Copies of this chain bind each other. A is one copy, B any other.
Amino acid sequence: MDNLNLDQHISGQFNADLEELKTQLLEMGGVVQQQISDAVDAIEQADSELAEKVMVIEDDVDNREVSLDENCTTVLARRQPAASDLRMVLAVSKATRDLERMGDEAQKIAKMAIALNEEGQAPHGYVELRHIGDIVEKMVNSTLDAFARFDVDTAVKVARDDKAVDREYKSAMRELVTYMMEDPRSIGRVMNIIWALRSLERIGDHARNIAEHIVYLVKGLDVRHTSVKEMERQVKDA
Contact = CB atoms under 8 A, between A and B. Distances in A.
A10 interface: no
Given A77-B83, A80-B80, A86-B73, A222 B177 contact: no
Nearest to A90: B73
Number of copies: 2
A70 interface: yes
A38 interface: no
A16 interface: no
Given A76-B76, A77-B86, A225 B62 contact: yes
Contacts of A65: 224-225
B70 A76 contact: no
Contacts of A1: none
Nearest to A65: B224
A191 interface: yes
Interface stretch (A24-32, A44-52, A148-156, A180-188): A180-188
A238 interface: no
Contacts of A80: 80
A167 B6 CA distance: 48
Q: Of residues A73, A87, A198, which shows the largest number of chain B Cβ atoms within 10 Å of its Cβ?
A: A73
Nearest to A225: B62
Nearest to A62: B225
Contacts of A90: 73, 76, 93
Nearest to A85: B77
Contacts of A191: 177
21 contacts: A62-B224, A62-B225, A63-B225, A66-B222, A66-B224, A66-B225, A69-B222, A73-B86, A73-B87, A73-B90, A77-B82, A77-B83, A97-B97, A177-B191, A180-B180, A180-B184, A180-B187, A181-B187, A184-B184, A187-B187, A198-B198
Of all A-B residue pairs in the complex, the 3 with the closest CB atoms, nearest first, are A80-B80, A62-B225, A184-B184
